[in-house]
Amino acid sequence: MPVRLSSPQKLNNKAVLLLLTLILMGPTPAACENASCSFIEGHILEYVCHSTYAENIRYQHKDRIPAIGTPYAIWRRTDTNRPSYLLIAFYDSPLFSCYTVVLSNQQLYCDGRNYVLPDTMPAQLHCIDFPFHYTTDLYNTCAPSACDADSPPLSVAIAYMNENVKMTVEAGVCAKCSTAVLVLALVVTILQ
């Protein structure tokens, strides 16, 4: 018994619909809720410098969370001579007056205190456990001496201290998901 294939026209329509669905859905943001900052967890971090987020760094690296001119501060682990493991905090907070910081259970402790200071909980904390040119550029902009080209920062925790950032990001993800579900349901209906 010969098998009859679908007509090429039907296959092309399905391919076009699938392609159209993928284009309309666009990229879906992925968040690492349980990112591990084990490279600085429990270590004493020493203040290095502070500066403001420069326009050229924003255009080059496209971090849309801090606005141009946003203050940031950098701390590094004290058990290394190089800026291998960093904490970078954006937006003013009481943390900026701390000479040493310890990260423990995603909470930041200042200058040896055994309690968390008010307004020092990050709205977002991103742990990046690989070399990243963005952190090198932020470090070189404010540090008294730039890091060597052959020894860039290996890992960094970036803390965004401004609370309204989190709400904006979550709203965008929810809107994107509801649109994607609607489009996907429409395509499945058409393909059947």
Q: Would residue 77 be called left, alpha or beta, if left means φ above 0 and alpha means ψ between -120 and 50 degrees?
A: beta
Provide the β-strand partners of residue 102: 44, 109
Residue 121 confidence (pLDDT) above 90: no
Residue 74 confidence (pLDDT) above 60: yes
Residue 13 confidence (pLDDT) above 60: yes
Alpha carbon 90 to chain centroid, angstroms: 12
180-187: average pLDDT: 60
Provide the β-strand partners of residue 84: none
Provide the β-strand partners of residue 108: 103
Provide the β-strand partners of residue 125: 159
Please state which of the ranges 72-76, 102-106, 173-177, 188-192 shows the lowest mean pLDDT: 173-177
Residue 164 confidence (pLDDT) above 50: no
Residue 191 confidence (pLDDT) above 70: no
DSSP H stretches of helix in the chain:
8-25, 55-61, 133-142, 164-191
Mean pLDDT, the chain, whole residue set: 78
More confident residue, 20 or 39: 39
Q: Tally Cβ neighbours within 10 Å of residue 17.
A: 15
Per residue in 127-151, pLDDT tens?
998 888 999 999 999 998 888 887 8
What's the pTM? 0.67
Q: Map tokens 């080059």 to a residue.
A: 60
Q: How far is residue 39's CA from residue 158's CA, in Å, rounded to a whole number? A: 13
Q: Check: CB of residue 53 under 8 Å from CB of residue 72.
A: yes
Q: How far is residue 57's CA from residue 54's CA, in Å, rounded to a whole number? A: 5
Residues in the chain: 192
16-44: average pLDDT: 64
Per residue in 34-69, pLDDT tens?
468 999 999 999 999 999 999 999 999 988 888 899
Residue percentage of the chain with pLDDT more than 70: 66
